[in-house]
Structure 1
């Protein structure tokens, strides 16, 4: 366990639980968890922060995926195909993550958030209901390339917002409603987390004791979030997405320029 105060450990555990809830509902829990780890581990190498984040996130994401699969119709075969491409992409991104500095992370995360918020805000009907027809072969291949390799690479390199990007990509490209897209994204996200975590672990960039403690809280939050999303539907998911993104834009903007 790194040398951090009991108060900070409690803060990190609360952040992990909240991030698990957010990640299960709409993705993007890393947008909360990663800044919390950067705050709690100010002297750690950025790659160690990213690796620890992955070790926490994969537990909650796996729990949420299992909860969704029990109650939501998901094309598991397609999700796994996208996930395998994402695993390869995330391993490549994680291999390059050692060159990312803390000073570069915050503006990059802010840019990600602004793009996500603008897209969802100006598309009020986005993901409200599934498309009338299933996606064709071309769209499936595009999804494997974009949501698999592309977003997987981003997840290994930086990470925050990956679940949200997956939900948006799957909704736009495969014509899924937001709940089904969230369920599918969890399977893909487990693969991206596994690929990145394998690389970070190989490089010795994971604080396993801290990650194990935080993972328990992350899993608890994820299970609650998945049940709420399944019960309340796409409108609830969209509302949470906009609220979370807006709050984080304000928070990071204040930290950057306040």
Structure 2
């Protein structure tokens, strides 16, 4: 592989790690870049390979959040186990069928999400919900199954969907939602990685240097998010949702 291609991939991976650490959506950056720069590689190999830097960056981001943000460990362990299995199932299904039929639906969902977040200024600014233990567990299971499967089957924007779920269903603010989302996102990434390793789809010569850069981006992004707080994360969230919306809109209307 040419050094220049690997360099561009590493730059994209650093940027993805930075954005993903703040509010998710890093796959929106590194996935298109990898698909363009590696035209001779199978798409499944590219997606599988990118799961390694995604896991690396999320790990470093999570380590920073753990130092500053309180976590509900009982809830997170439950969610992580379910999300792991759900992502593994989604990635398995991806090896047999196309996921293109989901894109028009996601286009509508993301459009509504962007409008709602922009109009509702206090969305994700503070914790509001007082949920019973039964309600917490119910919502946690739904989030883990749905978003975990999405990550394994489609991928881009997973972190953002986790953030939305933590805010809207569990009543977290943006900072706590981002922190907790990182922990569950680790499980979904690991579930997909296990599947792609079993299938022999990971290109390690690309995955490892990208993982280092993604981790650095995740480390810096998480520190910035913690320092700046909810208002800053909300702005970043809107940018990532709109970017994801444009990505899916392009895919839907060009037939990609």
Q: Scaled by the length of structure 2, what TM-score is found?
A: 0.90
> Which of 32, 35, 41 does residue 32 from structure 2 map onto?
35
Counterpart mapping for 1:1-258 below 5 A = 3=1, 5-99=2-96, 113-131=110-128, 133=130, 135-250=131-246, 253=249, 257=254
Q: 1:15 touches 1:36 (CA, 8 Å); kept in 2?
A: yes
Q: 1:91 touches 1:199 (CA, 8 Å); kept in 2?
A: yes
Aligned length: 254
Q: 2:156 touches 2:244 (CA, 8 Å); kept in 1?
A: no
| 1:202-244 superposed Cα distances (whole Å, 9 cap, x missing partner) | 0011111101000111001101110111011111001011123
Matched residues in 2 for 1:211 and 1:107: separation?
A: 30
SS at match of 2:128: coil
Cα gap change, 1:49 to 1:111, in 2 (>3 Å): farther
SS at match of 1:240: helix
How far the C-alpha of 1:32 sits from its partner, in A, is 1.3
Q: 1:109 touches 1:160 (CA, 8 Å); kept in 2?
A: no
Matched residues in 2 for 1:243 and 1:233: separation?
A: 16
Matched residues in 2 for 1:165 and 1:176: separation?
A: 13
Q: 2:21 touches 2:219 (CA, 8 Å); kept in 1?
A: yes
Matched residues in 2 for 1:251 and 1:188: separation?
A: 24
SS at match of 1:174: coil
Matched residues in 2 for 1:115 and 1:43: separation?
A: 36
Cα gap change, 1:53 to 1:109, in 2 (>3 Å): farther
67-76 or 91-100, which deviates more? 91-100
Q: 1:17 touches 1:218 (CA, 8 Å); kept in 2?
A: yes
SS at match of 1:33: helix
How far the C-alpha of 1:77 sits from its partner, in A, is 2.1
Matched residues in 2 for 1:101 and 1:115: separation?
A: 25
Q: Scaled by the length of structure 1, what TM-score is found?
A: 0.89
- Aligned Cα RMSD in Å? 2.3
How far the C-alpha of 1:114 sits from its partner, in A, is 3.2
87-96 or 32-41, which deviates more? 32-41
